[in-house]
């Protein structure tokens, strides 16, 4: 089977520290996969390597079977990779709609002259962008927030807008970095439902870093576990829950035996 995204033997060193150590993983089209591990395990660094924010010290990332080694970071969205960030990456003084339109910019192909005079292709692209953004607003149930300034929204609402911004680029693979962190139970349940719908209704594959084990166990088809930069386990939620190496990484001790 060909993988939508594959990391092969990826290493990232920061000076003397090996943050990601020979990690190989893949995500198949249509899956929801999670990347978990204790604080400092290397999850965000690995996400940054997958999404082109960082270059690996060695190893390679493939997306749609193409090596991304020479791809410029700004081309990743157009290639079909969308992501959210652990710390919100929104324009706080702009409205929700304006933020979502920024996420749509990868689909704008008109040249500056067409854009200035708002003619032909520029007009068609603008109309298409606004239509798509309105669909996302409806999908994420944020109609009442559409004209609000992002900085005035609650943290949970802003996270939902950031999810919308990532969706606006129509990604094939969506990378979610701790999307439910800081949310209350109700907000988490809403986002969990949206993640399932993103896969089932929009057909978008998801790879997420998540500390909330309830969300991880409920949503994931497969889970990868990192510890000290190394991949220590991979499997279904049931397999991961019963893996002694995972318990040891989280609790710092061997899992109790059945005996
Ligand atoms: N730019 C950097 N320069 C130096 N060290 C870094 C850099 N980025 C990350 N690190 C180190 O790499 C290791 C992995 O960090 P990373 O943020 O990837 O872990 P994480 O699993 O995402 O942690 P958390 O769950 O706390 O977000 C840590 O020891 C961290 O201090």
Whether 101 is covered by a domain: the verdict is yes
In a domain, 17, yes or no: yes
- Which of 7, 36, 45 to mutate to test ligand 1, by most ligand atoms within 8 A of the CB atom? 45
d(CA 197, CA 201): 5
| ipTM passes above 0.95 | yes
The average confidence (pLDDT) of the chain is 89
In a domain, 257, yes or no: no
For atom 14 of ligand 1, the residue with the nearest CA is 42
**Gap between the Cα atoms of 61 and 55, Å rounded:** 10
Note the pLDDT of residue 257.
46
Given a contact cutoff of 8 angstroms between Cβ atoms, the answer to whether 37 and 225 are in contact is yes
**Strand partners of residue 173:** 81, 205
91 lies in some domain: yes
Q: Rounded to 5 degrees, what are φ and ψ at 184?
A: -80, 175
Q: How far is the CA of 159 from the centre of ligand 1 (A)?
A: 22
| Ligand 1, atom nearest to 37 Cα | 21
For residue 259, being part of any structural domain is answered with: no
Ligand 1 closest atom vs CA 211: 25
Successive 10-residue mean pLDDT values, the chain, 259 residues: 92 97 98 96 96 96 95 89 81 90 69 58 74 93 94 91 93 95 92 96 97 95 97 96 89 52
SS3 177: strand
Percent residues over pLDDT 70 in the chain: 89
**Look-up: residue for tokens 């150590």?**
21
CB 99 within 8 A of CB 161: yes
Residue 148 domain-assigned (yes or no): yes
3-class SS at 42?
A: coil
Whichever domain contains 35, its CATH number is 3.40.50.300
**Residue appearing with tokens 């298409």:** 128
Determine, yes or no, domain membership for 258.
no
What pTM value is reported for the model? 0.89
Residue 193 lies in a domain: yes
Range of the domain at 132: 5-251
Q: Ligand 1: list residues with CB < 6 Å.
A: 14, 17, 19, 37, 39-45
d(CA 111, CA 122): 8
Protein residue with least CA distance to atom 1, ligand 1: 14
Domain total for the chain? 1
């Amino acid at each position: 089977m060909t993988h939508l995204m594959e990391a092969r033997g990826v290493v990232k060193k920061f000076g003397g520290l090996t943050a990601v150590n020979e990690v190989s993983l893949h995500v198949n089209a249509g899956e929801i996969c999670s990347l978990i591990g204790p604080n400092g395990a290397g999850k965000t660094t690995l996400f940054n390597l997958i999404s082109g924010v960082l270059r690996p010290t060695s190893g390679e990332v493939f997306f749609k079977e193409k090596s991304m080694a020479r791809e410029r970071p700004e081309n990743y969205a157009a290639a079909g990779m969308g992501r959210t960030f652990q710390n919100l990456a929104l324009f706080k003084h702009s409205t929700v709609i304006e933020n979502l339109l920024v996420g749509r910019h990868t689909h704008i192909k008109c040249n500056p002259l067409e854009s200035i005079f708002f003619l032909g292709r520029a007009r068609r692209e603008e109309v298409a962008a606004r239509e798509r953004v309105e669909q996302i607003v409806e999908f994420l149930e944020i109609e009442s927030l559409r004209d609000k300034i992002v900085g005035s929204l609650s943290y949970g609402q802003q996270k939902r807008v950031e999810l919308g911004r990532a969706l606006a680029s129509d990604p094939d693979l969506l990378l979610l970095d701790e999307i439910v962190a800081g949310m209350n139970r109700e907000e988490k349940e809403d986002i969990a439902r949206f993640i399932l719908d993103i896969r089932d209704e929009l057909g978008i594959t998801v790879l997420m870093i998540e500390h909330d084990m309830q969300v991880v166990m409920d949503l994931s088809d497969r889970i990868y576990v990192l510890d000290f930069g190394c991949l220590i386990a991979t499997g279904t939620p049931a397999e991961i829950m019963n893996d002694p190496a995972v318990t040891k990484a989280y609790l710092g001790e061997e899992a109790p035996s059945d005996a």
